[in-house]
Amino acid sequence: MKLAPFALLAIVGLAVPALAGEDSPKPAGISATKTSPEIEVGSLTVGDKAPALAINKWVKGSPVTSFIPGQVTVVEFWATWCGPCKASMPHLSELQKEYKDKGVTIIGVTSVDPRNTLAGVEKMSAEKGDTMGYTVAWDQDRQTSNAYMVAAAQPGIPTAFIVDQTGTIAWIGSPFKMDEPLAKIVAGTWDVAAARSEFEPMQQANIGSMRFSMAAKKKDAGAMLENARKLVEAKGGDAETMNFVAWTIVDPARGIDFNSNKKLAELALDAAKRANDATNNSEAGLLDTLAWAYFATGDKENAIATEKKAISLAKEDEVRKELEEALVKMQK
């Protein structure tokens, strides 16, 4: 999971507990799952008014206290541990430089979790320098993260929200894919209604992912199994989703007892196989997930063999070291 092109947040507790955010009407056609009386999963979509930013500390750049009429703001969510987030930083910096004189402000918002601290964020923003050449904000209370990510049913990072000149969310998606919408939004030629129609079916699917995430956060194996089955049925051919399902279940840090939850382990193995089939067994991160899925089912031999293959495909020394440490654990 950790090496997939989209880092899911199930294991860091994004969705639970949800904190108070800006109220937003429930969009037509989107069912919502409550995380608290204030936040509903799926209650925020493209075309809605952007929630206010509630930031505890501005780590880099000038504070943004409100969305200024006539200017465009990109609110991007990330974490220090997220590989894809780090990979997107130079691109975000280039976009900020390109659009600085056109009234665009890019804000990287990050929140506390077991692997993400204010000290770590300050260290990274300082070390990255110009390759993190945009505003950086620390959302200690997760108020902004919940108001955007949970409300919009976005389970993974990096995710960007483009707020247009009227304070409306005009686009939601990966920062790797926002060049065209950003250019059109700045130019005033973006079709928000069409973007909403395209976004909402994906959001509906994400609501299922968030339900699964919340069950995982509570370590409710029964609810995890039920919602994971629905995700496999609905998106069994999507590598990212299947890897998300599998890793959320088999992540050793979660500590699920698979002796008493064999069906859950078997489902994780099925999902992991689907993810690797979809990518021709070519991605180290997905193979690592598959190895842990084999391990969860008690198939130590295939777990070790698969982890060795993952190590052979790892391109970065840091990643290879992490996988080698996983292999040692499996061999004990």
pLDDT digits (tens, 9 = 90+) for 107-116: 999 999 888 9
DSSP summary character for residue 176: G
The rounded distance, in Å, linking the Cα atoms of 60 and 87 is 19
CB 102 within 8 A of CB 187: no
What confidence score (pLDDT) does residue 5 get? 40
Is the predicted pLDDT of residue 248 greater than 50, yes or no? Answer: yes
Q: If you average pLDDT over residues 301-326, what whole number do you get?
A: 95
Give the span between the Cα atoms of 130 and 137, in whole angstroms: 16
Average pLDDT over residues 215-242: 92
Q: Does the pLDDT value for residue 7 go beyond 60?
A: no
- Looking at residue 137, its amino acid is A
Mean of the pLDDT values across residues 311-324? 93
Contact 213, 248 (CB under 8 A): yes
pLDDT digits (tens, 9 = 90+) for 40-68: 888 999 999 999 999 999 999 999 999 99
**Average confidence (pLDDT) over 246-266:** 95
The rounded mean pLDDT for the chain is: 88
**What pLDDT, on a 0 to 100 scale, did the predictor assign at position 214?**
84
Q: Among candidates 85, 86, 146, which has minimal Cα distance to 111? A: 146
Question: What is the structure's pLDDT at 209?
Answer: 82
Q: Distance from first CA to last CA of the chain, Å, rounded?
A: 22
Whole-model pTM? Answer: 0.68
Q: Poorest-confidence range of 22-31, 34-43, 88-97, 152-161?
A: 22-31
pLDDT reported for residue 35: 47
Domains, the chain, with CATH or none: 7-195 (3.40.30.10), 219-331 (1.25.40.10)
Please check whether residue 135 is in contact with residue 61, taking contact to mean a CB–CB distance below 8 angstroms: yes
Integer-rounded Cα Rg, in Å, for the chain is 20
